Structure 1
């Protein structure tokens, strides 16, 4: 009897949560538009030129606050990435100062970066980062494109599984960078030191000021120097930083699926050949 009562209470609690779902979800998440990316779909690949532009934006605009500690300088020259040569990657690494040691005297020291080093953080620790940004902690860029995504809900996530839609992260980053508005809608109060952004998932305001503006970063390949283009380029670069082996993964997946189709077909025809005339 006690077990039955406990089961009934559990089912009632689950039913209560299900029924309360619409109430808990009363705050509608922002609508994030799906964008066109070169790396979309099962056969998509990164655009090296776009990744180089995105890296330029990260260096000149974002790296002053955001770290990228899981990306090494050598990754810049690896296949499927921005397409830098090894010499170019070495030159980029040498422009950074990294802490090393201890030396023979037991002291830490600074030296120019090498290919084996990871991108250094702009702050020595989280407390220093918060102190420099009004209490807000700038997230690391390494995995942000995979960790941030708009909630798609049912049945969208089912369709996403069949359409191979995996670009929720870049879509959200692009929407966030282009979602700032100078004036908040009527009835929305923006706290001091905050900025209104209609695409921010956590709330409508955030501490990060609009990082992009027209002609902020100089492009030398003729690409438009607009906020829209900057946002696309840096979002694509952040996707590569989060998944640098995306192209290899897709190639392996295609080969596995082709093998399974051929192998399954051979098994079927073999079964038909051997057992077709055998009584069961």
Structure 2
């Protein structure tokens, strides 16, 4: 069994910075994170163990300081938090901040904003809650339901696959040939790198293991992307989710991970896969033993 790592995988700088900021502030005063700092239960459990509270309901916050997650928040939401007399620590990813600025500029320039992403995702809510009018699309069917406007300004949730975004932008242009369509690329570079690396990895593999939180959008997108190029794809949150029966001795197994996945979690999964590989080799007749590689 041969193991391959994606060229780009795991935690991005925005998530690392957010975690570091939470740990720093929690050392000086009780801290509540408003929502999930990242969509990864292992990370959240680690923060709770350090005394950090996590609350989705603003009314339930019992500390004087709250942290806005890496996914960002609308101005309306921030005003609501500050209106309760709470101190605000912003852990918003700078690339999400850039998306907010881009959407505001589209509106200022007279374009009707269209967001490509998941309507109920916290980042998309943050990008749209301050807007008087907007549309959110995720599929070509969603685009077909848009009503005609003279000017469309299109941006995207930062963790959307850029290929999907480009397809939907072209669909909007094709559906409304008389309209002006301005597209600003707000998909973040870490997402693009991990998506492309997942494609390249999956094309070489018999099996792909994608590591990340169950509710992580970018992890689920890596699963979907890998599945378009490899028939056997497994999404795990950690090493304990792995099953030896998923693999056989002849397999080339690829490993990738979402942007909120800890380095230690990736290392633990890789170590467990090495153990499974050794077990597979030991169970084969000596004449059929394959060399085990790690890359």
Please indicate the TM-score interval, normalised by the length of the shorter structure. Answer: under 0.3
Pair member with larger Rg:
1
